[in-house]
Amino acid sequence: EPEVTQTPSHQVTQMGQEVILRCVPISNHLYFYWYRQILGQKVEFLVSFYNNEISEKSEIFDDQFSVERPDGSNFTLKIRSTKLEDSAMYFCASNGQPNSPLHFGNGTRLTVT
């Protein structure tokens, strides 16, 4: 069964550094998302992406965050200058159409020191 893959599984970075989290969504999906989950808290929406542009973003997704689909398979989340509070599990998800179930990757655990 096709799956969403994310790399790396764990990323440790120093405060102020830039990080790029990578995702390969399911190949025939058209809608792509990033969610995050701070330890012990709920899964929170960050951004949705369709047709090479952001469809919607949350208040969390400020100017420090950006997304890109650099080629036909990868979907990336960049955090320009990481803060301690960015430490969380970041999940990529995709689906074939809106209002259909999300297919999640297994996440990247980001630790900012």
Partner 1 sequence: EDQVTQSPEALRLQEGESSSLNCSYTVSGLRGLFWYRQDPGKGPEFLFTLYSAGEEKEKERLKATLTKKESFLHITAPKPEDSATYLCAVQAGTNAGKSTFGDGTTLTVKP
Tell me if the bond preceding 98 is cis, omega within 30° of 0: no
Would you count residue 72 as binding partner 1 (CB under 8 A)? Answer: no
- In whole angstroms, how far apart are CA 3 and each of 29, 81, 83, 84, 99? 11, 30, 30, 30, 19
- Structure tokens belonging to residue 59: 């208040």
Query: Quick one: which of 13, 24, 65, 102 contacts partner 1 (CB under 8 A)?
Result: 102
Quick one: which H or E segment has residue 77?
Answer: strand 75-79
Would you count residue 81 as binding partner 1 (CB under 8 A)? Answer: no
Complex with partner 1: residue 103 or 112, whichever CB lies closer: 103
Query: Quick one: which of 7, 17, 41, 113 contacts partner 1 (CB under 8 A)?
Result: 41
Complex with partner 1: residue 37 or 64, whichever CB lies closer: 37
Would you count residue 29 as binding partner 1 (CB under 8 A)? Answer: no
Quick one: which H or E segment has residue 66?
Answer: strand 65-68
Residues that bind partner 1 (CB under 8 A): 4, 31, 33, 35, 41-45, 48, 50, 55-56, 91, 93, 95, 98-107
